[in-house]
Homo-oligomer: A and B are copies of this chain.
Amino acid sequence: MANPSLLILAGDGIGPEVMDEVKRIIGWFGDKRGVSFDVSEDLVGGAAYDKHGVPLHDDTMAKAQEVDAVLLGAVGGPKYDDLDFSVKPERGLLRLRKEMDLFANLRPAQCFDALADFSSLKKELVAGLDIMIVRELTSGVYFGEPRGIHMEDNMRVGINTQRYTEAEIERGARAAFELAMKRDKRLCSMEKANVMESGILWRDVVTEVHADYPEVELSHMYADNGAMQLVRAPKQFDVIYTDNLFGDILSDCAAMLTGSLGMLPSASLGVPMENGRPKAMYEPVHGSAPDITGQGKANPIACILSFAMALRYSFDMGGEADRLEAAIEAVLADGARTGDLMGPEGGTPLSTTEMGDVILAAL
């Protein structure tokens, strides 16, 4: 049987640096665990724009559709800030999400015991935190039409459209309920049904899907209250399901609660392909971090944990994912720290490569 295939799109900024460490991890799995991948690489974001004048070349898009999973680094940077909206680095990422139809964006917000002090929240409120946010990723105001800026009575008017069909809400809800079944069986759905009709439909459809998952305890919360509750007492949540825009904000808020953005992976999953595997893209939650690019300072863990999510969700290798995650927990417990994880007590941080070294050693 052919090896599973991976397309690496390292992207911009620290993307290539952190992805280098992932490649070493992939190599280790091939050498030591007999888990080999066919790996190809290509450009996305500003890197693709520099070469092709577009943030994602059609050939790259076609490749992404064919592989078993895409690993993405990060996109964007100040160099591209003034580009036209249609060719900004982000459009490459959004095109991948939309054309691969990656509707379920899984964003775990987990606080590692060794790092609980890094949170801006009091330690006892975040130690042991383990939330899974499921964000709908292919619809809503990100893609709704009509959109744009036009003139009306000699005045500019900016328009975007929030649009959700019941099928879109439903498939994401199923993904969220399935995850809840494997976890603590609690799902909280967030919208603004008190203000938006699309939120009313959201609430109704999630409630209907609930009938198929009676074991899961379902609650509903307005998104503004959701933001408050995340800050007040984040451990009250197990799985959260919300739309593309609320999910963007609430998952970033939840990520920051853990205090270590350099640690957080994500998975974006679509419908099953012929081989039964879902279309999938994995990426760290952090951005391209232009301020530290090229200095060997970046923390590769979020990107490595994204690969662990690929092992779990694309390749049904939960055991191997556990092994990789355990190695990371072990080096953290041992005191291994990149610059972003240095406390006030100081010390010498590990470089990106050195962090890769200790993780490989722990494996």
Which residues does A use to contact B, with CB under 8 Å?
85, 88, 90, 94, 120-122, 125, 141-142, 144, 147-149, 152, 155-167, 192, 194-202, 204-205, 223-225, 227-228, 230-233, 245-246, 248-250, 252-253, 255-257, 261
Contacts and interface: CB of A to CB of B under 8 A. Distances in A.
Contacts of A261: 228
Contact of A158 (B120, B148, B199, B253): B199
B162 A160 contact: yes
8 contacts: A120-B232, A121-B121, A158-B197, A158-B202, A192-B248, A225-B252, A231-B253, A231-B256
Oligomeric state, in copies:
2
Contact of A161 (B149, B161, B225, B233): B161
A273 to B, nearest CB: 25
Contacts of A231: 120-121, 231, 253, 256-257
A197 B252 contact: no
A150 B30 CA distance: 52
Contacts of A255: 228
A53 B239 CA distance: 38
Contacts of A198: 149, 158-160
Given A149-B200, A195-B142, A252-B228, A162 B165 contact: no
Contacts of A256: 227-228, 231-232
A147 B225 CA distance: 23
Given A149-B198, A231-B253, 11 more contacts: A88-B194, A120-B232, A141-B141, A141-B195, A141-B196, A158-B164, A158-B200, A158-B202, A159-B197, A161-B162, A253-B253
A90 B194 contact: yes
A226 to B, nearest CB: 8
A192 B125 CA distance: 30
Nearest to A161: B161
Contacts of A155: 165-167
A197 B86 CA distance: 11
A227 B200 contact: no
A166 B157 contact: yes
A158 B163 contact: yes
A161 B163 CA distance: 8
B201 A149 contact: yes
Contacts of A94: 195
Contacts of A257: 231
